[in-house]
Amino acid sequence: MTAPDASGADGAPAPPLPVRVLVKGASTVNWISWMGGPRTDFILPRVIEERLLASGRPCTVHTHSVASEPTHGVLQTWEREVLGFSPDAIVLVYGHYETIHLLLPRWLERHANSLRGRPRRLRLVYRDRLVRPAWMLLARAQAAVDARWGSRLRTRRHEKVVADLETYIRHVRTVGHPLVHLVELLPPHEKKAGWFPGMPARIARMNDALEGLVRRLDDDEVRFVRVADLVDSVAGGDLATAIPDGFHYSPAMHRAVGERIAASITQWAEGQPHLAP
């Protein structure tokens, strides 16, 4: 008895399986600085999809991204996102949110800056007269404290982020050993750093911790994606051009980061028997 071949009904070779990609992160994944541009302003997961298809690789890209999502959320959702889908490659853009605020809690920021509010008169008055002024007052107070103490306070946030990510990576690597990317974070540019004076130091500690995790795992299929050098090639070294609002990539940066990750996935996929034609 002979084994079935992989040819199609007409005898032609069957096309390769699509590369399955899962992209996760907070608003650094799903938000463009500034929003409101044309449909061709792709976020990085869409760029990954575009470049894989352009290289002749069929693909299926899933994006799970929530604004202000803390890293520990990955452990709450990994089973439903990974077990059934079984991605070939996973892209993680985490750790940025934990570097932003020195004091203010996540729930308050989410409430003050929510995009889900209904346009009702009393709700609008509540937001315009109470929530937003209170938030701005607290944000200014936080900035003053952050300027004085923020760069000197060594919180354990980066350690917790790395611990959560390491546990997540060990979980997902049991599901077919997917390729995993951890993406380097960018600090706010000078025009925005005044609101979060200690954030650049926190970003530096977070990047060191993320890169240290990759080195410690010592696995070619767990990769650290450098981004800072793309600011030079894409924006002439100007952070204000690369991340105009101080936090989120411009369309050109989304494209550059997506292309770099897509190239890594393409190179890896060439050595995967299940993805061969």
Q: What percent of the chain has pLDDT over 90?
A: 67
CA distance 198 to 217: 29
CA distance 114 to 144: 24
The answer, yes or no, to whether residue 226 has pLDDT greater than 80, is: yes
CA distance 60 to 187: 31
Q: What is the pLDDT at residue 77?
A: 96
pLDDT tens column, 65-79: 998 899 999 999 999
Q: CATH second-level architecture of 19-101+156-275?
A: 3-Layer(aba) Sandwich (3.40)
Q: Are 198 and 143 in contact (CB under 8 A)?
A: no
Q: What is the pLDDT at residue 79?
A: 97
Q: How confident is the model at residue 154 (pLDDT cuts 50, 70, 90)?
A: low
Backbone angles phi, psi at 6, to 5 degrees: -100, 20
Higher-pLDDT residue of 1, 120: 120
pLDDT tens column, 28-56: 999 999 999 999 999 999 999 999 999 99
21 DSSP β-pair partners: 61, 89
CA distance 112 to 92: 26
Sequence spans of domains, the chain: 19-101+156-275, 103-152
Q: What is the pLDDT at residue 55?
A: 95
The answer, yes or no, to whether residue 111 has pLDDT greater than 90, is: no
Q: What is the pLDDT at residue 8?
A: 54
- Amino acid of residue 176: G
Q: What is the pLDDT at residue 64?
A: 96
Average pLDDT estimate for 77-98: 97
The answer, yes or no, to whether residue 215 has pLDDT greater than 70, is: yes
- In the 3-class helix/strand/coil scheme, how is the chain assigned residue by residue? CCCCCCECCCCCECCCCCEEEEEEECHHHHCCCCCCCCCCCCCHHHHHHHHHHHCCCCEEEEEEECCCCCCCHHHHHHHHHHHCCCCCEEEEECCCHHHCCCCCCHHHHHHHCCCCCCCCHHHHHHHHHHHHHHHHHHHHHHHHHHHHHHCCCCCCHHHHHHHHHHHHHHHHCCCCCCEEEEECCCCCCHHHHCCCCCHHHHHHHHHHHHHHHHHHHCCCCEEEECCHHHHHHHHCCCHHHHCCCCCCCCHHHHHHHHHHHHHHHHHHHCCCHHHCC
CA distance 241 to 82: 35
